[in-house]
Structure 1
Amino acid sequence: MTTLPLDTDRLRLRLFGPADLDDLYAYQRLPEVARYLYRPPLTRERCEESLARRADGTGWTRDGDDLVLAVCRRDEPGVVGEIVLKLASARAAQAEIGWVFHPAFGGRGYATEAARAAASLAFGALRVHRLFARLDTRNTGSVRVCERLGMRREAHLVENDLDGDEWGSEYVYALLAREWPARAV
């Protein structure tokens, strides 16, 4: 893999550590964050469990292996969100990308900037052939991030999952490694 952290103009992407608990819990506990994740807000205990697993990272060899990166502003302390790369198929070199950010830091382009850095990592050092994102159709912010990355909408899955007691629909966006250089700017 590549050496972490990854730096962009304004951000640093790095592995999570135990000191990140308060920042992680600050956004993972919010109902407005969980509403598009098809799960309830996380408790502090679940955040602690998640941090313990994230700090070690995983390999990048088996289906389900993932890399969860804390997104921090380079000029200020604290975690503002996270980027997830999950190996969906090792054989087909396909990975899923996702992001979760504290709403207080929305509208500043952080998700796009961090996702662009993660996509470069995926297509470069991680040797991914196809990168895809699955998102709730109501999540217009994430739709815009996918489109800014140059991903194409490949599917609209209608009422394919339960969001609490309601059916939720998803979009699938994707991009191939050979398409990335033209969109990486």
Structure 2
Amino acid sequence: MLVPDLPLRTDRLLLRPFTADDLDALHAYRSRPEVTRFLYHDPYDEAAARVSLERARGRTALREPGDVLNLAVVLPETDELVGDVLLSWTSAEHRQGEIGYVLHPDHTGRGYVTEAARELLRLGFDGLGLHRIVGRLDARNTASARVLERLGMRREAHLRENEFVKGEWTDEAVYALLHREWRAGAPNA
């Protein structure tokens, strides 16, 4: 079980629970086609953003397998919500987890996603005691793949046309990092 002391602070970011006041900012980036291109959902309208926000607001702890920790990524100096990150606890028996992230395109290229995701890896490995954490993505999403590689994760699989998403068969890439690799200081971890 992991109930983190929130908010979490990194060098440049604040990772905090979502609040009702985050609706406009969440909608601002999750409504953009370039953001949702490789995600399972279409661009959000306001109603979809509201549903997503309410779900995220309840995701503040990992009490049992299947739970998801979903945090807002905020620039502390301006209190601007620039994205979100998540850590899923996928198996207690096998001590497995998964990370994910989405960032407003106005804030890409600054290392924010890598910094926030690194903090979630720390929580998963050091806080929850996970053995292995994966990142799964549409194989066409090269920007996301670069983030996982910067985190020290290795590409373990390229699954051909394994999912039917938004009317087309898509390939999935799977990256992973083991606890012992994290402890040994995987590159840039």
* 8 Å Cα contact 1:153/1:171 also seen in 2: yes
1:163-178 residue pairs with structure 2 within 5 A?
163-178=165-180
- Cα-Cα RMSD: 1.4
Q: In the TM superposition, what whole-angstrom CA distance separates every residue of 1:102-141 from its partner, at most 9, and x where no partner exists?
A: 1111111111111111111111112211100001111111
Q: What is the rounded CA distance, in whole Å, between the counterparts of 1:100 and 1:125 in structure 2?
A: 23
The count of residues paired between Structure 1 and Structure 2 equals 185
Q: CA deviation at 1:24?
A: 0.4
Q: What is the rounded CA distance, in whole Å, between the counterparts of 1:74 and 1:37 in structure 2?
A: 27
Within the candidate set 63, 67, 73, 2:75 is matched to: 73
C-alpha change, 1:59 and 1:109, in structure 2 (3 Å) is closer
Within the candidate set 18, 33, 51, 1:31 is matched to: 33
Consecutive aligned runs of 4 or more in structure 1 exceeding 3 Å deviation: none
Structure 1: stretches of 5+ with no match in the other structure: none
Amino acid corresponding to residue 118 of structure 2 in structure 1: R
TM score, norm. by length of structure 2? 0.92
Within the candidate set 109, 113, 116, 1:111 is matched to: 113
Structure 2: stretches of 5+ with no match in the other structure: none
Q: What is the rounded CA distance, in whole Å, between the counterparts of 2:8 and 2:64 in structure 1?
A: 23
Amino acid corresponding to residue 89 of structure 2 in structure 1: L
Which stretch shifts more, 44-53 or 173-182?
A: 44-53
Within the candidate set 1, 4, 7, 2:6 is matched to: 4
* 8 Å Cα contact 2:60/2:71 also seen in 1: no
TM score, norm. by length of structure 1? 0.94
Query: Which residue is 1:46 aligned to?
Result: 48
Percent identity among equivalent residues? 50
Q: Secondary structure at the match of 1:9?
A: coil
Query: Which residue is 1:126 aligned to?
Result: 128
* 8 Å Cα contact 1:11/1:72 also seen in 2: yes
Query: Which residue is 2:100 aligned to?
Result: 98
Query: Which residue is 2:21 aligned to?
Result: 19
Q: What is the rounded CA distance, in whole Å, between the counterparts of 2:72 and 2:89 in structure 1?
A: 18
Q: What is the rounded CA distance, in whole Å, between the counterparts of 1:47 and 1:165 in structure 2?
A: 22
Q: What is the rounded CA distance, in whole Å, between the counterparts of 2:78 and 2:124 in structure 1?
A: 26
